[in-house]
Amino acid sequence: MGKIKIKLKKGDLVRVISGDDKGKEGKILKIDTKKYRAIVEGINLVTKSEKPNAKNTKGGLVKKEAPIHISNLMYVEDGKTVRIGRREENGKLVRYSKKSNKVLD
């Protein structure tokens, strides 16, 4: 498999474009660059059983976000999904929206 440039960052608002959670939106909490996966807030929830511990004294079933592949996510700008490009400005590489041509923070 060739190397993919990950244009999404932690904190970006994204929409799921395929899978069980298609159409849902959330913020990226964590990105695994080696596996090309991201953990998105409230997306791809799985139920795990947890033993009692200091944090959760009762234990039991806990809903947790599972990683989702980067290719299934799209950046959201003004309520619409947009593609992201990269270009050099003032000697720095910046991300920009291909629809509005605006530089993203």
Model confidence at 32, pLDDT cuts 50, 70, 90, reads very high
Number of domains in the chain: 1
Model confidence at 1, pLDDT cuts 50, 70, 90, reads low
pLDDT of residue 39: 97
pLDDT of residue 56: 82
CATH of the domain at 32: 2.30.30.30
Residue 1 covered by a domain: no
Residue 8 covered by a domain: no
**pLDDT surpassing 60 at residue 52:** yes
Q: What is the extent of the structural domain holding 39?
A: 13-47+61-104
What does each C-alpha distance from 67 to 49, 85, 86, 95 come to in angstroms?
18, 24, 25, 23
**Residue type, position 6, single letter:** I
